[in-house]
Structure 1
Amino acid sequence: MINRVVLVGRLTKDPELRYTPNGVAVANFTLAVNRQFSNQQGDREADFINCIVWRKPAENVANYLKKGSLAGVEGRIQTRSYDNNEGRRVYVTEVVADSVQFLEPKGSGGGGGGSQGGNDFYSRGPAPTGQGGYGQQNPNRNQSRLDEDPFASDGSNIDISDDDLPF
């Protein structure tokens, strides 16, 4: 069975951060995701999708995203139900996020924070020291700036063997 969801949209309001009785962080937010087509009046409609994220990524979402922030969410769809105050059964469908990517630089005009360039290190946490990444002993070694284009050509030829090509 497959249950995977990938969404890109803007938050409709600031995330709500709460903690379970055991101290586990959980954040709820709603993404407005534009549809691919326009309605009869020529307007694009959007779907408003409830999302939930747990633990450290939940705290990061609450700290760095706000209403209007552009975010990417990868996760699974979950359906649950509960009885409300009137005794009626209420069904809820939501996306349980495994990963939330902040798709705008912090302070950009689109509405808010995030990791720079859409990096996803907030959901995975730092790499162990000496393994590369954020816990590295020598932070300047083999790192490039986030605003540099890693695919920009410097005008030199690329030395590659035909054996290295996949086709």
Structure 2
Amino acid sequence: MAGETVITVIGNLVDDPELKFTPSGAAVAKFRVASTPRVFDRQTNEWKDDESLFLTCSVWRQAAENVAASLARGTRVIVQGRLKQRSYEDREGVKRTVYELDVEEVGPSLRNATAAVTKSNGRQSSTSNGYGQQAQGGYGQQQAQQGGYGYGQQPQGDPWATNNNAGEPPF
């Protein structure tokens, strides 16, 4: 929609995503992302951490289930969504304002990690992580070799998987 503020945040998950369901059965996952910019201090000739931004994020439906099954605390993520401002009164009667992100897209950062992605087909069982593997605590941790892209086993019939330099593409 016009006038909405869409932002992209890169940071680390503060905690494991929390998956809940509305009374109508819609899944919603909430998580917080900490994003800390690095700045160069010319006086000391060193990189330093600037002030951290902590942003509460929520993602809905199948994406919520995929996030809860696939991402874990400490995972570096790229999150894009609509920034929302919400005001409320705390217990002491003081008016507070918070900023939250309604997530459209989220995924692991592949800057210092690898991932094998499998398309999900609707509802997932509690033992699946939404990416075709057993849930094992998130990206970046040691996992058993399971085949598939990025895990040492090449798909059969994939002309790009072989390392022959025939000079011409196979089409």
* Residue matched to 1:43: 48
Number of equivalences? 132
* Residue matched to 1:67: 73
Distance change (3 Å), C-alpha of 1:56 and 1:151: same
* Residue matched to 2:93: 87
1:75-94 Cα offsets, whole Å, 9 max, x none, are 11111122222233221111
93, 103, 124: which one pairs with 1:97? 103
Contact persistence 1:27–1:52 (CA under 8 A) = yes
> How much has 1:38 moved relative to structure 2?
4.0
After TM superposition, list the pairs within 5 Å mapping 1:16-165 onto structure 2: 16-38=18-40, 42-45=47-50, 46-103=52-109, 116-117=115-116, 119=117, 121=119, 145-147=148-150, 154-158=164-168
6, 10, 13: which one pairs with 1:11? 13
| Separation (CA, whole Å) in 1 of partners of 2:91 and 2:24 | 25
- Let me know the Cα RMSD of the aligned residues: 3.5
Unmatched tracts of structure 2, length 5 or more: 123-130, 132-147, 155-159
- Secondary structure at the aligned position of 2:72 is classed as coil
| Separation (CA, whole Å) in 2 of partners of 1:83 and 1:120 | 43
Instruction: Say which structure, 1 or 2, has more relative contact order (CA 8 Å, 6+ apart).
Output: 2
Structure number having the greater helix percentage:
1
| Separation (CA, whole Å) in 1 of partners of 2:162 and 2:75 | 28
Contact persistence 1:24–1:54 (CA under 8 A) = yes
Unmatched tracts of structure 1, length 5 or more: 127-133, 135-144, 160-167
Distance change (3 Å), C-alpha of 1:93 and 1:120: farther
> How much has 1:17 moved relative to structure 2?
2.1
Contact persistence 1:103–1:116 (CA under 8 A) = no
